[in-house]
Amino acid sequence: MSTFKNIPISVELPSPVDDTAIAHAVLCEIQVLMEEFVSSGQSGAIDLRQVPPMGPDAYQFLKQSLSAGEVSATIKGVGCTEAQETAYPGVWWITHRNQKDEIVTELIEVTEIPEILKSQLEDVRHGLRRLAKRISLSEPEKPGSSFSPGETAQL
């Protein structure tokens, strides 16, 4: 009967993935998405929760590489969503947070305007109905009428 006691065994663990390499790969993917967007108008996105995990240093490297651009928006809903254009026009860093302010999704979108910022047609219809109602309830000011000091108009 043979045994394995006398056979030398060494365990080779895979080398850890370099965090910076992951961030660099994300930057390269952004470049590909930008090229596609410029040539065809096709938007694209990278879900940062779906790439291999990055450590804090690599995450900061990615953030600093893209840096903040001129446009940002905050959407308040169930949680808070931040849309920040990066220093590269058309590249947006989107962060969705839950009610506990925990990040639930982080995306890099390559597009003119992130989907989250676009008004939905049904919302516009609802707004139109509200505005029409507001206009129908208000009366235009009659020529020559004025308000007394401290008086406000009622709409």
Which one is predicted more confidently, 115 or 93? 93
Q: How many residues does the chain have?
A: 155
Q: Is the pTM of this model over 0.75?
A: no
Position 78, amino acid: V
Mean per-residue pLDDT of the chain: 86
At 130, give phi and psi (nearest 5°).
Answer: -65, -40
At 131, give phi and psi (nearest 5°).
Answer: -65, -45
155/120 Cα distance (integer angstroms): 27
Residue range 57-77: mean pLDDT, rounded: 94
59 and 47 in contact (C-beta within 8 Å)? no
108 and 30 in contact (C-beta within 8 Å)? yes
Go through the domains of the chain in sequence order and give each one's CATH number.
19-117 (3.30.1370.140)
| pLDDT of 38 strictly over 90 | yes
Residue range 63-82: mean pLDDT, rounded: 94
Residue range 10-21: mean pLDDT, rounded: 65
Torsion angle, alpha carbons of 43, 49, 50, 51, to 10? 100
Per-residue confidence band for 103, with pLDDT thresholds at 50, 70 and 90: very high
